[in-house]
Amino acid sequence: MDILKNKLDPKNLEKLVAISNAKMHAFVAEAIELTNPASVCVFTDSAEDLAVIREKAKNGGGECVLATEGHTSHFDGPKDQARDKANTKYLLPEGMELGASLNSTDKASGLAEVQGFLKDSYAGKEMLVCFFCLGPTKSDFSISCVQITDSYYVAHSECLLYRPGYEQFKNVGENEEFFKFLHTQGKLNESGCSAETDKRRVYIDLVKNTVYSTNTQYAGNTVGLKKLALRLAIQKAAKEGWLAEHMFIMGINGPAGRKTYFAGAFPSACGKTSTAMLPGQTIVGDDIAYFRKKDGKMMTANVEQGIFGIIENVNADDDPIIFESLNNPGEVIFGNVLISDGKPYWMGMGADVTASGTNYQGDWNPSMTDVNPSHKNARYTIRLNALDNMDPELENPNGVETGGIIYGGRDSDTQVPVEQAFDWTEGIIAKGASIESETTAATLGAAGVRTFNIMANQDFVSIPLGQYIQNNLDFAKGVDSVPPIFSTNYFLKEDGEFLNGKLDKMVWLLWAELRVNGDVEAIKTPTGWIPKYEDLAPLFKEKLNKDYTQKEYIQQFTIRTANMLAKYDRVEAIYKEKVADTPKLVYDTFAAIRKRLKDLQAAKGDFVSPLDL
């Protein structure tokens, strides 16, 4: 308390101590001693405090004002454009093991390194202390958080993405767990970007629920409550018997006014947000979901209140609701797009890119063919309540009942566009725990490489993978009506061309909604149930005004037995090599599926038309 009194003025001290939590006070005091700020500003939930964050972000705090009212832009440097997987590590105390597949370092040396980068990093700067809530407030889903940063851009982003948590924090008892985040953008260059990205570190202390982030501005590394908090939540959920997943939540409208809620996991840049934003449906959330069991039902809630979405190829035809919101007045942060005359431009926006402008690497013009006008991982940050299709249950403290679960990836030659697993076990193991996806620009490294990504959550799992699978398998116990599980694949190709249009995904999800409610039959394959042509054609016509031919159906839903066998061989090899605690049920399930595939292959070959099943 002496440290706080010496550094905080009376007004900010009063705000801080109004939250009676000695552990939080200690965290702030320790951060002050470590980072040595010139001043400390504490923010409440008030409109006045939020306005201060917004205005300071626009005036030297990392954002530039754009022509449309409420719009701002932010640039991360050329070497700070994605989540840094290599330097994101768990700090493990002696005796704690997560397995070879998860990136970690010993706690003592890792803490010394990252605290060395944090030492005096706030000298001459203001420390911002912000409070947020993961999940709806006053709910079983609620987790209180404190974010300390020297970046008004980071604070502003979190104000858009997360529910205010100051008042919520007042209800946290002294012994209640809360999440802690300490970030510095480090030294800045003349463009206002982090200058020492070689010292970029994102270290996670699972024991103390604390994340340290240094020398970076990219939101995936700095907005602590997003994927960094997901890692903490997965650990907490494992202890307490619930699930924290990398999933959207959406309402799919069925016949006669019926709505069924689906959750879905997709790796980054694989159609996750565009699925959650399908026209005619409603969105509860696009990224992270918590699941709890209540009264025999599987309930889920959106951890966030906003979207940090990839903007490439967002246009009026494919993403009309998002596109309209991004072109109307309102609070939006554009990240790493091209700016010209106060307007944002991005690749795939459906309009010509302006002749010249400024982007993440400086001045740009069309002659610079080695640099894209807008980064492939350029983003937008916006509140969900700015969207016309926000679901009215977003803030329901009980969450929404899960009607179905979807796992999707980026697969050009193997899986059909939509398929229902035979049961929960095969859904978790053969759909979720077997996701492979081609890499994209959302993470640093080469793009286009086929990568294993368990439950589309590989980068964020903070417990041994075998335990993570078992927790998912066990979660169906005690649920009266277990949600069906589906796989989707929007990226099937033939002769280098996609076999589906971008909005075809609507039909796959509408079919899944019909299946959940028992409205249509399906065709049995070795790996699950696929649609009948006669059920898809009317949906294409009614919803997309598209004539869906039987030829298209056969192309898309042909069972590629050899490719499917190769897929399960690859995935099983990964489990045997890297996941020492893999449950035996995983291998038994793979064996059963492999036998069914081999039987079909022996009878009908490597490519089997759905009409021959």
Q: Which residues are catalytic?
A: 270
Name the E strands within 360-434.
Answer: 362-364, 379-383, 400-401, 404-409, 418-420
In the chain, the amino acid numbered 95 is G
d(CA 147, CA 229): 11
In the chain, the amino acid numbered 562 is A
Contact yes or no for 600/528 (Cβ under 8 A): no
Burial class of residue 13 (count of CB atoms within 10 Å of its CB; 0-12, 13-18, 19+): middle
Q: How far is CA 165 from the centre of its chain?
A: 21
- Report residue 17 as tokens: 């101590």
Residues ≥6 apart with Cβ < 8 Å to 284: 248, 249, 250, 251, 261, 301, 302, 391, 393, 394, 400
3-state secondary structure 201-228: EEEEECCCCEEEEECCCCHHHHCCCCHH
d(CA 88, CA 232): 13
DSSP H/E element including 591: helix 584-604
Residues ≥6 apart with Cβ < 8 Å to 192: 62, 75
N residues, the chain? 613
d(CA 1, CA 181): 20
DSSP secondary-structure letter at 322? H
SS3 (DSSP) at 319: coil
What does each C-alpha distance from 450 to 290, 399, 447 come to in angstroms?
28, 35, 9
DSSP secondary-structure letter at 518? T
DSSP secondary-structure letter at 557? H
CA gyration radius for the chain? 24
